[in-house]
Amino acid sequence: MSICMIGGGGFIGSHLCEKLMAETSHKAVVVDVSSEKINHLLGESHPWSSRIEFHHMNIKNDSRLETLIKASDLTINLAAICTPADYNTRPLDTIFSNFIDAIPVIKYCTDNNKRLIHFSTCEVYGKTIGSFLPHEFRKDPKYYMLKEDVSPCIFGPVEKQRWSYACAKQMTDRLIYAEHAENGLKFTIVRPYNWIGPRMDFIPGVDGPCDGVPRVLACFSNNLLRGEPLKLVDGGRSQRTFLYVKDAIEAVLLMIDNPERANGQIFNVGNPDNEVSVKELAELMIQVYAKVASVPASSLSTLDVSSEEFYGKGYDDSDRRIPDMTIITRQLGWKPKTPLNKLLDDTLQYQHQTYSNAIKKVLSKPSN
């Protein structure tokens, strides 16, 4: 199968490319503005070199996109601005990237009768019903469990621009669904729940801008590598379920290889057993990193910061995200495997090996 992977040079795309090259005979036609995270897979020396090609392309303004989609059996759309620090500070780019730029991709798939696997987000559910109820009612799963075919989508007001991403993603989900209903588009929508692992985002000042704010795994990794306190936004009380990206990619491969079971479906893809508050995540990362880097855990700490101070005006948060797994278990028989401790151990070993020398160099430079 030839797979056109738009945004395939990013975090998830890089893991999917690795899996496709190592364990399948599929061909990957990768479209992205950067190949940095997949450079290790490109080049003539690999046994799979004839099965992967990289097209340096911005999908906003490149007429070659339709030709690539037309020539492929399947399109996977991963392209997005998907770091929360951008949602309230670059709301126009966020909305264009997650909605407007996806429109031609969807249209080319419909017009050419091509299958589409589109990456949505668990954030389309927004806040839980429970977050609006008195504490004694919140314990009932029906007030916090997120179900693809049942749960409402609850966003904050328009001036809370945090929701520009979720709202744009949801509009794209609805457009895909409408193309399916009216024009027969064969689609699968994936809703990732905080997939994390090696190569996620960037370390500010090393392989990303000094003032850039990546997602929480990279923020906390950066703090740990520099020996700075881990910053807990509004006390770190929000809860998340974390899924190891390598488990997640197995789910995506099942979708690729089982169109009869995946077409027409929206899948939550997460690990309900790996739920922690952000504060608990920070404490766990401190314990794991102390072992990995052989430093005393007592030298590492956390610091409470307000969301306005950290993200600026217009930030808001999802309180809790627990995926209901009924649909993905029924359709694909997929279950996550890796507990949080193990996935943080693997990931922080990678972060330490990849970045600790670079950080030492940055820290040894005199500041102006």
Catalytic residue positions, numbered: 165
**CA 265 to CA 120: how far, in whole Å?**
12
First-last CA distance in the chain: 54
Considering the rule CB under 6 A, would residue 340 count as an interface residue with ligand UDP?
no
Cα separations in angstroms, 230 against 57, 218, 224, 266, 305: 36, 11, 7, 35, 10
State in angstroms the smallest separation of the CB of 207 from ligand NAD.
12
State in angstroms the smallest separation of the CB of 119 from ligand UDP.
13
Q: What, of ligand UDP, ligand NAD, none, does residue 317 touch, CB below 5 to 8 Å by kind?
A: ligand UDP
Considering the rule CB under 6 A, would residue 232 count as an interface residue with ligand UDP?
yes
Considering the rule CB under 6 A, would residue 103 count as an interface residue with ligand NAD?
no
**CA 156 to CA 139: how far, in whole Å?**
22
State in angstroms the smallest separation of the CB of 38 from ligand NAD.
9
State in angstroms the smallest separation of the CB of 16 from ligand NAD.
9
State in angstroms the smallest separation of the CB of 219 from ligand UDP.
3
Considering the rule CB under 6 A, would residue 233 count as an interface residue with ligand UDP?
yes
Q: What, of ligand NAD, ligand UDP, none, does residue 11 touch, CB below 5 to 8 Å by kind?
A: ligand NAD
**CA 8 to CA 30: how far, in whole Å?**
5
Structure-block tokens of residue 213? 């704010």
Q: Which of 155, 195, 244, 355 binds ligand NAD (CB under 6 A)?
A: 195
* Residues near 24 by beta carbon (within 8 Å), at least 6 away in sequence: 253, 257
Query: In this structure, how many other beta carbons lie within 10 angstroms of the beta carbon of residue 352?
Result: 18
Structure-block tokens of residue 251? 């789910």
Q: Which residue has the tokens 């061909």?
A: 27
Considering the rule CB under 6 A, would residue 194 count as an interface residue with ligand NAD?
yes
Q: Read out DSSP for 110-150?
A: HHTT-EEEEE--GGGGBS-GGGGS-GGGTTSGGGTEE-TTT
Considering the rule CB under 6 A, would residue 278 count as an interface residue with ligand NAD?
no
**CA 306 to CA 181: how far, in whole Å?**
44
| Pairing outcome for strands 230-233 and 52-56 | unpaired
Considering the rule CB under 6 A, would residue 75 count as an interface residue with ligand NAD?
no
State in angstroms the smallest separation of the CB of 319 from ligand UDP.
9
Specify whether the CB–CB gap between 223 and 167 falls below 8 A: no
Q: Which of 11, 54, 311, 315 binds ligand NAD (CB under 6 A)?
A: 11
State in angstroms the smallest separation of the CB of 26 from ligand NAD.
19
Per-residue b or e along 104-123, where b marks 16 or more CB atoms closer than 10 Å to that residue's CB: bbbbbbbeeebbbbbbbbbb
From the list 56-64, 202-210, 226-234, 341-349, the region that binds ligand UDP by CB under 6 A is: 226-234
From the list 3-11, 132-140, 328-336, 342-350, the region that binds ligand NAD by CB under 6 A is: 3-11
CA of residue 43 relative to chain centroid, distance? 27
Q: Residues 282-321: x/- map of binding to ligand UDP (CB under 6 A)?
A: -----------------------------------x----
Nearer to ligand UDP, 106 or 243 (CB): 243
Considering the rule CB under 6 A, would residue 128 count as an interface residue with ligand NAD?
no
Nearer to ligand NAD, 57 or 206 (CB): 57
Specify whether the CB–CB gap between 212 and 204 falls below 8 A: yes
Q: What, of ligand NAD, ligand UDP, none, does residue 84 touch, CB below 5 to 8 Å by kind?
A: ligand UDP
Q: What, of ligand UDP, ligand NAD, none, does residue 9 touch, CB below 5 to 8 Å by kind?
A: ligand NAD
* Residues near 268 by beta carbon (within 8 Å), at least 6 away in sequence: 122, 146, 147, 148, 191, 193, 323, 324, 325, 327, 328
Q: Which residues bind ligand UDP (CB under 6 A)?
A: 84, 123, 194, 215-216, 219, 231-233, 236, 238, 240, 278, 317
